[in-house]
Amino acid sequence: MVLREKYGHGDVALDMYYLACPHPGCGQTVKLKSAAQLAAFLRRKEGRGIVN
């Protein structure tokens, strides 16, 4: 699963990102349900979390 950014998210942090399968033709997605989950993925992707 890779972190993807939603379009038209309305500037709500938990609605900005979701996890998606990186393989073509795979439509599996997972909604991020907590700020801790979002922070962990942002830290892994960008090297920093929600709040530094």
Per-residue pLDDT tens digits for 1-45: 888 888 876 666 667 778 899 999 999 998 888 888 888 877 877
43 or 46, which is more confident: 43
pLDDT computed for residue 8 by the predictor = 74
pLDDT computed for residue 26 by the predictor = 93
Burial 21-35 (b: 16+ CB within 10 A, else e): eeeeeeeeeeebeee
Closest listed residue to residue 14, CA positions, set 29, 28, 30, 32: 32
pLDDT computed for residue 49 by the predictor = 66
pLDDT computed for residue 28 by the predictor = 95
pLDDT computed for residue 32 by the predictor = 83
